[in-house]
Each structure stands twice: as structure tokens, then as C-alpha cells.
Chain A
Amino acid sequence: MTATPDVLVVGAGIVGAACAWELARTGARVEVVDQGIPGGGATAAGMGHLVVLDDDPLSSLSLELWRALAAELPKGAEYWNCGTLWIAANAEELAAGRRKPGVEMLDEKQLYEAEPELRPGLAGGALAKGDAVVYAPVVTQWLLGQAGVQVRREAVRDVGELRAGAVICATGALTQKLLPELPVQPRKGHLAITDRYAGKVRHQLVELGYMQSAHGQANESVAFNVQPRPTGQLLIGSSRQYAVETAGIDAHMLERMLQRAFGFLPFLRECSVIRTWTGFRASTPDKLPLIGRLRDNLYMATGHEGLGVTTSLGTAKLLAAEILGRPAPIPAEPYRPERFHA
């Protein structure tokens, strides 16, 4: 390292890469450091589902940014505007679906036209046509390349020792290793991927009961969440576990997760699973990320739980505005790290 950079990003996941890219575009000299390979943590473990959540301006802003970027992304990024189909098992869930922003409601008949493999007896669905999927490790590498950044491969032990105009901690589930005072907890997830079954599933499918599971505080939970890849492969999720630090497959969680998926897509029973894996989300007590200045020249971009890929672009936009003293694109208050820092 020669001169002190304007910005030093710790963590080369998609959030760190997006921050590096956003700031490099403003002319800042940016460096990125990571102990592992770029996009090799939660970025690689996740599904890469780009999804707008209710009452979440960060995800809405981010989807706009993704759509604007889509044409520039390399082929390997596999950006696919397949939409999210939220599945309602009953009338109550259907009512919840109606409250989602910008969705097209599907009745029972339309639901089975859209996704014939779903089990009979479901009430309907809410189709979010603007949602998409992406292959996040390639996007991460592309963002770093666009930023002109070569990731320095080393472990950071003390953020206080880093010299830069601004230091950004995009450290995901490892945040507490550097900043133990922040309530960012690893939340383990499992995924499975099948061989190729082209055309069987057409949208990212998520049960409307998902939010209850994802935002609940239960120690262990599963939800139906299946994604078709452009190859015809199917990603099967999802599971959530607190207080588990080992990265191995937990058979009971994998079993529960698959059973949940069979309950919506019975044909999955027969599908050949070729690989399973786990990863760690960075979760916070109020389910919102930490974006903004923590103290001095130290900024946070972490705690995105399951939404890091979706909100990476919006996070970078918001954080860059703060660092550069520009107007925030959306209200920044809900994400300020100081809310956890008396």
C-alpha cells in the first residue's frame, strides 16, 4: 500500500463491492480488504433473490437501481426478471398479499396457470413482477472490477488500525469479530440445489407466511422459498437458526426445510438434489441493517440478514451520500448504527 486511500472497505461481499463501486464512481480512491475470496461468504451462500418487501424503502430503491444496471451486467450475472410469486395458503394470507406494494393479485385459477406444479388447495397469490434473481458472486466480482479494485487478501483484526479517509465495515455475519459492541448476530441458513428441471417452476416462489418465519425470533424456523435458476436448476430454501456457529449441514434443519418445500411443490420429492450448503446471514434485533457512520471515520454497511444482495445497491447509494455529504436518496434514520449504540 502506498498512499492512504480515500475509502477502505473491509469485506468483499456484495455489499462491500457495491460500496466500493459507488464511491469509486465519484472519483474516490478505494481499496477493499477481505480475508476470504470476493463474494465467498453470505453472497455466495444466498439465493440472489432481488425482492421488494412491504414498507421497505431500501428494497424499493435497490430494485430500481438493479433494473437500471441490468443491461450492463455480464452474462454470468444471470440477471433474470422472473418476478416473485407470493403464495397464499388461505384467505387470511391472501389478504396479507393484497397489502403488498405493486403486486398483481392471482386467484386460485390464475395461481395454477402461473405455477401448475403447486399443490392443490392453495388460495391464490400475489405476483411482484418487478422482482428478479441474480447470481451474486459474479455481480460482486464485476462491481469490484468496475471500481478498479484488486481485493487485498488479509485479515483485519482491529479497525482502529486502518488508515483511510473513511473506513467502511461491510463485514456481514463476522461484524462482531471486529466490533463486539454491535448486536449483529450470525443466523445460519441451509440451501439445496437440484439437477436441471427446466420450465417446472417459473417464478421465485415464497410462501406469504415467510415474513412471519423470517422476522420471527424463534431459534429455528423454516419457510418455503424456491427459486428457478436460468439453467433449470431449482434452489430450495429456506432455514433460519440462531446461535449455531458450525458450518456443517444440520440434518434436522435440511429435513424440515425440504419437507416444507414438498408441502407446496410435491414434485420436488422426486427431484435429484446435487448439492447442499449453509451460510450465515448478519441479523439485527430490529431486522434492519446498519448503514451510516458509527464513530469518527468508521462507517457501517452490515446487518442485512437475508436481503444483502437485494439492498446492496441501495445501501451503497445511501452510505455514499452520507460520506460525501450529499442528500440521502431515502430517509437514513431507520438504518443509523447509533440506534444500538448508546
Chain B
Amino acid sequence: MNAFDIAIVGAGPAGLAAARAAARSGKSVAVIDDNPEAGGQIWRGAAQIPLAAGARLFAMTRVFDVRPGFEVHTAPHGVIRAERLILATGARELFLPFPGWTEAGVAGAGALQTLVKSGMDVRGRRVLVAGSGPLLVAVAASLRAKGARVLGVAEQAPLGRIVPFLLRYAAKLPQATALRARLFGVPYWTGVWPVSFAAGRVALSNGRELDVDFLACGFGLVPNSEAAQLLGCRVEDGFVVVDSRQETTVRGVYCAGEPTGIGGLEKALEEGERAGAAATGQAVRPGRTGAFVRDLARAFALDGRLYGLARPETLICRCEEVPLAELAMHREWREAKLQTRCGMGACQGRICGPVAARLFGWTACSVRPPLVPVAAEWLATGQRQQEPGSDR
């Protein structure tokens, strides 16, 4: 039996900051993450906050259910119990469909960065980074550092919205200066986005066409709020509602980082610290990043024309191969799912759900366990008797 005072789901910046704060209290802390090492999407194996002494990391551990009490159901460590729960579940990339977006050569910007960090060779490969948000610049920089020929960064937001944002937050974005320096010589186009991709050729909205080996796309981030929803926490517009101490509407459940509002590293660290302190009864410092979240969302708000790129035959659901035309016949998400099987495949609508929400204004269905696909035996036993096979 694994029992702790505090269980933290997610070992990214918010989770690690929460662990550090919680561990100061001397309480027992578990940090659970499905990656091999702590660090999350941003640090990925190179965490800049060490795991707090006394905190235990459950790495390569998938959380498929969370229940009141609290019980975190995991594979392969079974049930991890805790008095308080901190959800630091991060965000995932938003993909928007355009003709050719499912072809080989098109990748998620973050996904490509991850592949490269884990050893994929991109030396000399031509890459166009496209989409929206500060992460594009970070991805371009890291690909360039690994020897890729970054042909450019296509940011859909217009220059007029980005400049005031950068001016206001230049001091807050120390990494931005360094990134710009590393990207010296790489064009940064604003108000531009990919309109189609075929056989290695990207057509951009400004009429330019480029031949690439990779088109790395990311149109912003979608909060991972499913675990919070499963616990019954209030979620508004996809974001988990928290009070000034990061506590959700469910007592004893705290949330930190991107699920409460997309705000990047500094916000994640600040909220993690606060959640860890609050969950262990320590004094909590007030937050300072609220305006940043709002201004970031405004500066990089998606141009409505991006939602009109897909053609009738463009796939929206990759798992079940459902094209736009089939979805457009329906009035709501559940009906579309039942009739077309959209969102019913292996990813369970994690990718196409946010797309459908933006293209059609549909709201997602309720969340049920398993949060991620999991071997049936884990669902069948609250606590396993024996260790599973070595393949998991």
C-alpha cells in the first residue's frame, strides 16, 4: 500500500515546485508522472528544480483514475493514497486541421522537439515552425541548436498584437532575448499560417510556398483538465477553477500550472509553490501572474480564418479517419461521435475534441475512467496482487 500526505500528479515545473513547497512541511509527498524522468514537457528530463528530498517520484506511471478520498489509480503502481491531491497535469498542443495536416512530414511542434531531444537526428533537415505562441520560438531554437535548418517561424498572430505584449513582458521573458539571439537570421513571419501541405511543400497564407522536410505545427495549448473533471472540480472554458490558494472547488484538491490558465513557466512555478504550501498548511504568497495569462491569450488569440482551412475531405479525427464533411452534418459533439465514431479511437478525442470545439462550438462530453488507455487488469483490480509483465 502506497500512502502519502500529498500526491502530486505531474512532474513538470508546477509539480516539482509543489513538491518542493510541500516537502518543506516534512509531510510525505508522492510525485506521479508517465515520463521516465521528472521535468515535464518544458524541461523534459532536464529539470531545473531537483525533486525535493523526501519526495518519492513514481516515474513511467500512468494515472488512469482519481477518486475521492483520495485514491490515485495508476499503472503499474496500483492505488496511491493521499490526504491531499495536487493536479499539475500540464497542457497538450492544439492541432488545427488544414489540407495535408495528417501527412508524413507534418508533426506537432512540441512532439518534434521531444523526438529530437530523445535522439532523432535533424541535422541539415529543413524545418518550418508554424502556428502560434511563444513556444514556437523555443521549438525553433532547440531544433536549430540540434543542427536543423529552420527556414522560418510562421506566427499566425499579427505583429500589432505581439509587439505590445513583448514590450510589456520583455523583463518577464528573460529567455526570449536569448532565444532571439540563437535564432538570429531565422525569419519570423507574423500574421502568417500554413494553408496546405502536400509532398513536402507547405503553402502559406501569404502566398509563399516552401519545400520542407518537416512542418512543425502548434496552435497553442489545451489544458489537461480531465483528472480535475473526473473528481468533480469546476471547470470553466476548459480551465480548472481555483481560489487564491490554488484549491479547486473540491476540498483537498489543488491545481497548479497550465490547467488553471495557459501562462508558461513562471506561472507554473509560482502556482506550484502556492499549491504545495497551501496543501500542507503553510503560509501562501499571493499570485502575480494573472494579467500575464490574460495578455498572452489576447496577444496570440487565433485568427478565425484558421478554422476555415479544412476542406470537406480533410480528416478531423485521425484515429477513426473521420473527415470534416461527415462531422458538419451533426448538431452536437455527442451526436457526431455516435454517428461518425469521431473521438472514439485510441486518443479518445484528446486531439479532435478541442478541434471540434473550435470549428463547431461543440462542448465536450463527460470524463470517465480510464483517463488514458490502460490494460484491463488494472481497471479490474483496485490493487494488484502481482506485478504485471515486463512490457509495461
Chain A residues near B (Cβ < 8 Å):
37-40, 44, 76, 137-138, 141, 192, 194-195, 236, 248-249, 251, 254-255, 258-259, 261-262, 268-277
Chain B residues contacting A276 (CB-CB under 8 Å) are 368-370, 379
> B346 — which chain A residues lie within 8 A by C-beta?
195, 274
Chain A residues near B380 (CB-CB < 8 A): 254-255, 258-259, 262, 269
Q: Which residues of B contact A (CB under 8 A)?
A: 65, 67, 331-332, 334-335, 338-340, 344-346, 348, 368-370, 373-377, 379-382, 389
Q: Chain B contacts of A138 at CB under 8 A? A: 339
Is there an interface contact between A274 and B379, defined as CB atoms closer than 8 Å? no
B375/A255 in contact, CB under 8 A: no
A192 touches B379 (CB 8 A): yes
Q: Which of B65, B331, B339, B368 neighbours the largest number of chain A CB atoms within 10 Å of its CB? A: B339
**B382 and A251 form a contact (CB under 8 A):** yes
Interface-centre pick from A192, A251, A262, A276 (highest chain B CB count, 10 A): A251
Q: Which residues of chain B are near A273, meaning CB under 8 Å?
A: 370, 373-376, 379
Bound-state CA distance A76–B331 (Å) is 18
How many A-B pairs fall under 8 Å by CB? 80
Which residues from chain B contact A275 at a C-beta distance below 8 Å?
344, 348, 368, 370
Given contacts A76-B339, A194-B376, A269-B377, 10 further A-B contacts (CB under 8 A): A40-B334, A248-B368, A251-B369, A255-B379, A255-B382, A272-B375, A273-B376, A274-B345, A274-B348, A276-B379
- Measured in the bound complex, the distance between the Cα atoms of B378 and A272 in whole Å is 10
CA distance A254 to B373 in the complex (A): 15
Q: What is the minimal beta-carbon distance from B350 to any residue of chain A, in angstroms?
A: 11
Q: B335, B338, B339, B389: which contacts A270 (Cβ < 8 A)?
A: B389
Q: Cα distance A259–B381 when bound, in Å?
A: 8
A259–B376 alpha-carbon span in the complex (Å): 9
Given contacts A274-B370, A275-B348, are A40 and B375 in contact (CB under 8 A)?
A: no
Q: Knowing A274-B348, A276-B370, say if A255 contacts B381 (CB, 8 Å).
A: yes
A258 and B379 within 8 A (CB): yes
Q: A37-B334, A251-B382, A275-B348 are in contact. Are A262 and B376 (CB under 8 A)?
A: yes
Minimum CB–CB distance for B337 against chain A, Å: 9
* CB-contact partner of B338 in A39, A251, A261, under 8 A: A39
CB distance from B125 to the nearest CB of A (A): 32
- The reply to whether A258 and B376 contact each other, CB–CB distance below 8 Å, is yes
Give the nearest-CB partner of A269 in chain B. Answer: B377
Q: Verify B338–A44 contact, CB threshold 8 A.
A: yes
User: Closest Cβ of chain B: how far from A72's Cβ, in Å?
Assistant: 18
Task: State the Cβ distance, B32 to closest chain A Cβ, in Å.
Answer: 19
In angstroms, Cα B373 to Cα A262, docked, is 18
CA distance A39 to B336 in the complex (A): 12
The docked-state distance in angstroms from the alpha carbon of A269 to that of B376 is 5
CA distance A276 to B334 in the complex (A): 15
CA distance A272 to B338 in the complex (A): 21
Q: Smallest CB–CB gap between A327 and chain B, Å?
A: 36
Q: Bound complex: CA of A194 vs CA of B346, how far in Å?
A: 9
Please state if A37 and B335 are interface contacts (CB–CB under 8 Å). yes
Point out which of B335, B344, B375, B376 has the most chain A C-beta atoms below 10 A from its C-beta: B376
Q: Closest A-chain residue to B329, C-beta based?
A: A141
Assembly CA distance A269 to B389 (angstroms)? 11
Q: Which residues of B contact A249 (CB under 8 A)?
A: 368-369
Query: Smallest CB-CB separation from B232: which chain A residue?
Result: A248
Q: Are A270 and B375 in contact (CB under 8 A)?
A: yes
A274–B348 Cα gap in the complex (Å)?
7
Q: Which residues of A contact B338 (CB under 8 A)?
A: 37, 39-40, 44, 137
Given A37-B334, A37-B335, A277-B368, A272-B379 contact (CB < 8 Å): no
Closest Cβ of chain B to A188, distance in Å, is 14
Taking CB atoms, residues of chain B closer than 8 Å to A40 are 334-335, 338
CB neighbours (8 Å) of B374 from chain A are 272-273
Once the chains are docked, how many angstroms separate the CA of A30 from the CA of B140?
60
Which residue of B has the minimal Cβ distance to A194?
A: B376
How many Å from the CB of A226 to the closest CB on chain B?
11
Q: Which residue of A lies closest to B365 (CB)?
A: A277
Given the complex of chains A and B, what is the CA–CA distance between A277 and B338 in angstroms? Answer: 13
- With both chains docked as a complex, state the minimum distance between the C-beta of A155 and any C-beta of chain B, in angstroms: 16
Given contacts A37-B332, A40-B338, contact A236 B368 (CB under 8 A): no
* Contact status A270-B377, CB under 8 Å: yes
B377–A262 CB distance below 8 A: yes
Find the residue from B331, B373, B380 having the highest chain A CB count within 10 A: B380
How far is the CB of B29 from the nearest CB of chain A, in Å?
26
Min C-beta distance of A5 to chain B, whole Å: 22
Could you tell me the distance between the alpha carbons of A277 and B340 in the complex, rounded to whole angstroms? 18
Query: 28 A-B Cβ contacts within 8 A?
Result: A37-B331, A39-B338, A40-B334, A40-B335, A40-B338, A76-B339, A76-B340, A137-B339, A138-B339, A141-B339, A195-B346, A248-B368, A251-B65, A254-B379, A255-B380, A258-B379, A262-B377, A262-B380, A269-B376, A270-B376, A271-B375, A273-B370, A273-B373, A273-B379, A274-B345, A275-B348, A276-B368, A277-B368
Closest B residue to A262 using CB positions: B380
Which residues of chain B are within 8 angstroms of A269 by Cβ–Cβ distance?
Answer: 375-377, 380
> Which of A38, A195, A262, A275 has the most chain B CB atoms closer than 10 A to its own CB?
A275
**Residues of chain B within 8 A of A194, CB atoms compared:** 376
Select the residue from A38, A138, A249, A272 with max chain B CB neighbours within 10 A: A272
Q: Which 7 residue pairs are nearest across A and B when measured between Cβ atoms? A: A258-B380, A269-B377, A137-B338, A37-B335, A272-B373, A274-B373, A273-B376
Once bound together, how far apart are the Cα atoms of A191 and B109, in whole Å?
36
Query: With the chains together, A262 CA to B377 CA distance in Å?
Result: 8
